[in-house]
Amino acid sequence: MTKVAVIYYSSTGTNYTLANWAKEAAEEAGAEVKVVRVQETAPEAAIHSNEAWKQHLEETMDVPVATSDDIEWADAIIFSMPTRFGNVPSQMKQFIDMQGGLWASGKTANKVVTAMSSASNPHGGQEATLLNFYTTMMHWGAIIVPPGYTDSVTFGAGGNPYGTSVTQAPDGTLVEDVEAAVKHQAKRVVDVATKMHG
């Protein structure tokens, strides 16, 4: 059975939603899946200044915190994170930067990876975040599996070939309908990982 780790960072819940859709689809594709969250590192003052951020953190305290063991365990990894000024959020970046030991021992090589993102407007850096993230995956020696245009659901979700991305409206709702695109991306990763590691 292909093992899939869904590793996400979410401040107000968008990427948590994407992560859970990915989990559903990967399980439907026959994988063993675990969803883990990247440790929150923002100061309490910042979190408590945003009610949605504070509430989401409290609601997801029972989700296990991601560790190096999750990466080592997985055949495939689905990452999901918001964009921060066109780049990876510091919480995810710190988690990735802590994996030097795994990388040095060759344990990140040939992991099948894909990523998803979000922003508060459609051109708020979603593509740049994914491309910047994939640069790190190249250093890892990972096998990057983007959705490309392998299914028409990509177009309905905004057409991002690098990974499903979504715009979060001010009220917290998702502007584009991306559930089908997320699920296609997750199933594609399971398919590739099964072929590689099966």
Does 197 score more than 90 pLDDT? no
Write the class of the CATH domain 3-197.
Answer: alpha beta
What is this structure's pTM? 0.97
CA 106, chain centre distance (Å): 22
Any idea where the domains of the chain sit in the sequence?
3-197
Q: Per-residue pLDDT tens for 36-79?
A: 999 999 999 999 999 999 999 999 999 999 999 999 999 999 99
Mean pLDDT of 172-198: 95
* Percentage, residues of the chain above pLDDT 70: 99
Does 198 score more than 80 pLDDT? no
Tally of residues, the chain: 198
pLDDT band at residue 145 under the 50/70/90 scheme: very high
| Tokens (6 digits) for 6 | 């869904």
Output phi, psi for 19, to 5 deg.
-60, -40
Tell me the C-alpha distance between 87 and 57, whole Å: 22
Q: In three state form, how does the secondary structure of the chain look?
A: CCEEEEEECCCCCHHHHHHHHHHHHHHHCCCEEEEEECCCCCCHHHHHCCHHHHHHHHHCCCCCECCHHHHHHCCEEEEEEECECCECCHHHHHHHHCCHHHHHCCCCCCCEEEEEEEECCCCCCHHHHHHHHHHHHHHHCCEECCCCCCCCHHHHCCCCCCCCEEEECCCCCECCCCHHHHHHHHHHHHHHHHHHHC
Q: What pLDDT score does 12 carry?
A: 94
Tell me the C-alpha distance between 45 and 68, whole Å: 28
